[in-house]
Structure 1
Amino acid sequence: MLLRAALTSFRRGETLAAQPVSASLDVSLKHLTAYNEVCGFGLRDALPLTYPHVLGFPSQMKLMSGAGFPFPLPGLVHIANRITQSRPLMSCEPLEITVSARDLRPHPQGTQVDVVTSVSGVWEGVSTYLRRTGGSSGSGEELERPVGSAVWRVPADIGRRYGAASGDRNPIHLYPLSARLFGFKQAIAHGMWTKARCLAALEGRLPEAVTVDVRFKKPLFIPGRVEFSAAEGADGWEFAVWGKGPHLVGSAA
């Protein structure tokens, strides 16, 4: 998979013609248990809200490394993720997964595209990826630091542990040396681990039919110390992860 990703480095496409990728699978309880442990979820019959993203990851990589996807994978930045489910998926049910790409559009720093993972007609995850080609590095958005409700110490091996559970073994998440090869001073935590860790902290408090939308901000260098905040309002939950600046901001309703 890493070799296929590396071979996409020569792409210079400007159109989106990737064909959807589909797969059928059953949940492995051993794999689910490992995922729950690294993200902080309890073991239940219902799948964690972020787990179908992991199940769809091989299909996502197949689509993004295949013909018709316009961007090289090295340097592609995951900037946002939105998950919507109409009901929880259960660990005992067979799953049908389809991954597609849509909505190639400009971004102030380059071009962005959505990779959409649909599972059994009841769960959809939309991952937005950015291909940087220049432009302003600022979003123009000023965020106010929320009051933290918990302190998390993120260990140095979380990237390797989550990579083993998710299949996402991007070198920027594994070791300081491999991360420096891609321009980072240290390894960084996976954005989807950070989102999963937030939802684990809110486990049991979100409705079964829910949309959880997050934006990934500054890289979370590991090891690290961050503050998690969560507050419930009339329109649902607002939550965030901050260090010296924002790493993730999100909402659930």
Structure 2
Amino acid sequence: MSTIELSGPPNLAALYLKAVLSAPTRNGAELPETEYVRPDIVVDRDHLADYNRTCGFGMRDELPVTYPHVLSFATAVRLMTDPEFPFPLAGLVHIANSITQYRPLLVTEPLTQRVRLADHRPHPKGRQFDVITDTLVDEHVVWTESSTYLRRGEPNESEPKRGVEAVEAGEAVASWRLPADLGRRYAAIAGDRNPIHLHPWAAKAFGFPRTIAHGMWSKARCVAAFEGRLPEAYTVDVDFAKPVLLPSTVEFSARGADFALHSRSGKPHLRGRFS
């Protein structure tokens, strides 16, 4: 595996343009064996405050467990727009996410992030792969993430299920009204400007009646509901199910280490578990 060091965050606008222009030529079979390393990341307190407000976290010196995902997002897009990456960026579906925090990360700590792709494998609806991100402080890994993406295509034989699909988290304990502009607000913070989160016409082109919320906003909002009750080290896994339409009202349920986000009719949007 080759390693490339970045001097700063990649330019997302340029990467999105590259993704559009290169989409027709992407028909490979293997993931690139490249790791991008971005050292000396300094957390912007104003950016963190915006993230906390949007996702429901309080203002603390510790980073929310989902916040490093935002810091690494542009680097992940850089990997998925490299010439060797086999799939068009548009149409990839984020289906699962697992984060492990080995100890709290402080807003004052300079961070290093290492991002790579792994485990290209069959999925019943096509192919799937993982984006692996390690966040380091003083050369020690303190946070790691695996984001699983699906490329729809020819059906494949099912593999053993992973994740938290069987979670039943009990009766709703909270109801959240989500505004129509939530996708645009989160995109401004996270950089994830997929048009299905921003514009109703784009969402309809992909089969949605209106814009949808980001999966990682949904995960962050659920984790925020546990703030003050979590240990210093833990893993939080989620599987994403039905998209959250905007605007809408969603219900949050929790029982023990399990939690879920679902519509008022009971359709699951997200299932999660702490361990």
Q: TM-score, normalised by structure 1?
A: 0.93
**Secondary structure of the structure 1 residue equivalent to 2:202:** helix
Equivalent in the alignment of 1:65 = 81
Structure 1: distance between partners of 2:210 and 2:192:
17
CA displacement, residues 87-139 of structure 1 (integer Å, 9 cap, x when unaligned): 01110000001100000000110000000111001101100000000438x99
C-alpha distance 93-142 of structure 1, shift in aligned 2 (>3 A): closer
Query: Any conservation in 1 of the 2:168–2:260 contact (CA below 8 Å)?
Result: no
Q: Give the one of 199, 209, 214 matched to 1:185.
A: 209
Matched, 1:247 2:269: yes
Structure 2: distance between partners of 1:75 and 1:226:
25
Equivalent in the alignment of 2:221 = 197
Structure 2: distance between partners of 1:170 and 1:85:
27
Query: Any conservation in 2 of the 1:188–1:221 contact (CA below 8 Å)?
Result: yes
Structure 1: distance between partners of 2:85 and 2:178:
34
**Secondary structure of the structure 2 residue equivalent to 1:122:** strand
Structure 1: distance between partners of 2:73 and 2:168:
33
Which residue identity is paired with 1:32? L
Equivalent in the alignment of 2:185 = 161
Q: Which runs of 5+ in 2 are unaligned?
A: 1-14
Q: TM-score, normalised by structure 2?
A: 0.86
Matched, 1:211 2:235: yes
Query: Any conservation in 2 of the 1:85–1:210 contact (CA below 8 Å)?
Result: yes
Which residue identity is paired with 1:13? G
Structure 2: distance between partners of 1:8 and 1:221:
29
126-135 or 74-83, which deviates more? 126-135
Q: Which runs of 4+ in 1 moved over 2 A?
A: 138-146
Match runs of 1:1-253 below 5 Å: 1-10=15-24, 11-24=26-39, 25-120=41-136, 121-135=141-155, 146-232=170-256, 237-243=257-263, 244=265, 245-253=267-275
Which residue identity is paired with 1:67? P
4-13 or 154-163, which deviates more? 4-13
Identity rate, percent: 53
Q: Which runs of 5+ in 1 are unaligned?
A: none
Which residue identity is paired with 2:151? R
Q: What root-mean-square deviation, in Å, do the aligned CA atoms of Structure 1 and Structure 2 show?
A: 1.8
CA displacement, residues 46-89 of structure 1 (integer Å, 9 cap, x when unaligned): 10000000000110110111122221111000000000011011
Query: Any conservation in 2 of the 1:187–1:222 contact (CA below 8 Å)?
Result: yes
Structure 2: distance between partners of 1:193 and 1:8:
28
**Secondary structure of the structure 2 residue equivalent to 1:56:** helix
Structure 1: distance between partners of 2:209 and 2:33:
34
Structure 2: distance between partners of 1:134 and 1:153:
37
Q: CA deviation at 1:180?
A: 1.6
**Secondary structure of the structure 2 residue equivalent to 1:23:** strand
Q: CA deviation at 1:143?
A: 6.8
Structure 2: distance between partners of 1:125 and 1:101:
11
Q: CA deviation at 1:183?
A: 2.6
Query: Any conservation in 2 of the 1:151–1:228 contact (CA below 8 Å)?
Result: yes
Query: Any conservation in 1 of the 2:168–2:258 contact (CA below 8 Å)?
Result: no
Structure 1: distance between partners of 2:219 and 2:168:
19
**Secondary structure of the structure 2 residue equivalent to 1:6:** helix
Structure 1: distance between partners of 2:90 and 2:33:
18
